[in-house]
Amino acid sequence: MKCFVFLFSIIFSGCSSTSDNEETAQNTDLSIEKTALKQGNRISSQAQQALGSQLMKIVNKEGPAVAVSFCNLVAYPILDSLNYGIDVNVRRASVKTRNPKNKANGIEEKIIRSYQQQLVKQESLTPVIKELSQDELLYAAPIQTKNSMCLNCHGATDSEISKNTLAKIHSLYPEDNATGHKVGDLRGIWSITFKKKELLKFQPDTAAVNVDDVLALVKQNCYSCHSPNSPSHEDIIAPPLEAVKRRYLIATGDDKAAFVTKISAFLSDPSQQNAIMKGPVRRFGVMPKFNWSEETIAKIVEYMYENELEQPAWFEQHHREMHP
């Protein structure tokens, strides 16, 4: 079997303005770090969800003694195919890697070491932002072996990983170093490199309450998961927005005020309790939270109510089959 790994590393040449006086520059720096943190949280949970659903598909299909086409797990093509709504370099890095392309560079290794020290002190690990240069910020967040599922492929080679799986791993990753982990270990980090210039696109969201901008906002923030271009029902990482809309129209008897109130309540606090789509919650987990004003959320939901939403080509037929 052959694996193709697509490696895109996007390198820009930045231009920076030096005319700002120091005070505004400092304020901008603070607010841009906040934006980087927020966007990093959003992008890493999106990426995590995409890789996680791939992983669950395989583990569910193959059972716990996983011996699979690990090609499906090569992260780069998956990570690069996602639409993050921003030009950005997203990867996972580790000091004990399976895929040598994921080897931590200098600054990533420093961050990993410091997370490891925090783990020893039983502190909880949180995302960090580091300045890479005048033009670039790095977002890093811990990836831990949260549960024993991970140990099927990253645990003890003599007990937790099946013989078949181990053989598969060795054939594809001859330099594999990513075993022997226990639940709770630090497996690696999300490493997301932002151009500061790109981050400026994500001003505090009050900039986006112009109705003309709502579609742009939906495209930029919702389509990455609720994609209208998914090739099949098997490939999705969240239900199409049109499916969400129909479900909520039924739940609210087509009443606009109730529709807006109910979806807004979910978007302000996406919890299992507020979710009404129990099937998708089981399949994908509850969706992540956006820190948006009530006003922006209401605009988006009104837009969903009043406009025809783009939907994937397979959707109508699937919908008819499921809801005859």
234-253 binders of ligand HEC (CB under 6 A): 238-239, 244
- The number of beta carbons lying within 10 Å of the beta carbon of residue 237 is 21
Name which position in 281, 293, 310, 319 contacts ligand HEC (CB under 6 A).
281
CA distance 222 to 236: 13
CA distance 136 to 5: 26
**Degrees, nearest 5: CA angle 225-2-189:** 45
Q: Assess 145 for contact with ligand HEC (CB under 6 A).
A: yes
Name which position in 226, 259, 264, 305 contacts ligand HEC (CB under 6 A).
226
Query: CB of residue 203 vs ligand HEC: minimum separation in angstroms?
Result: 16
Token digits for 147?
Answer: 């549960």
Query: CB of residue 238 vs ligand HEC: minimum separation in angstroms?
Result: 3
CA distance 32 to 133: 14
Query: CB of residue 19 vs ligand HEC: minimum separation in angstroms?
Result: 35
- The number of beta carbons lying within 10 Å of the beta carbon of residue 59 is 16
Query: CB of residue 129 vs ligand HEC: minimum separation in angstroms?
Result: 20
Q: Assess 91 for contact with ligand HEC (CB under 6 A).
A: no
Identity of the residue, 67 or 129, whose beta carbon is nearer to ligand HEC in the bound complex = 67
Name which position in 186, 208, 225, 298 contacts ligand HEC (CB under 6 A).
225
Query: CB of residue 2 vs ligand HEC: minimum separation in angstroms?
Result: 14
Alpha helices in the chain (DSSP H): 22-62, 75-81, 106-120, 151-154, 163-172, 196-199, 211-221, 241-251, 256-268, 278-284, 294-306, 315-322
111-130 binders of ligand HEC (CB under 6 A): none
Q: Assess 58 for contact with ligand HEC (CB under 6 A).
A: yes
165 contacts: CB under 8 Å, gap ≥ 6: 65, 66, 67, 68, 152, 153
Please answer whether residues 289 and 269 qualify as being in contact, where contact means their C-beta atoms are separated by less than 8 angstroms: yes
Query: CB of residue 286 vs ligand HEC: minimum separation in angstroms?
Result: 4
Dihedral pair phi/psi, residue 186, rounded to 5°? -85, 115
Identity of the residue, 136 or 185, whose beta carbon is nearer to ligand HEC in the bound complex = 185
**Beta bridge partners of residue 90, listed in sequence order:** 192
Identity of the residue, 18 or 185, whose beta carbon is nearer to ligand HEC in the bound complex = 185
> Which residues are at the interface with ligand HEC (CB under 6 A)?
45-46, 49, 55, 58-59, 66, 68, 70, 73-75, 92, 94, 97-99, 102, 143, 145-146, 149-150, 152-154, 178, 187-188, 221-222, 224-226, 238-239, 244, 263, 266-267, 270, 275-277, 280-281, 284, 286-288, 290, 300
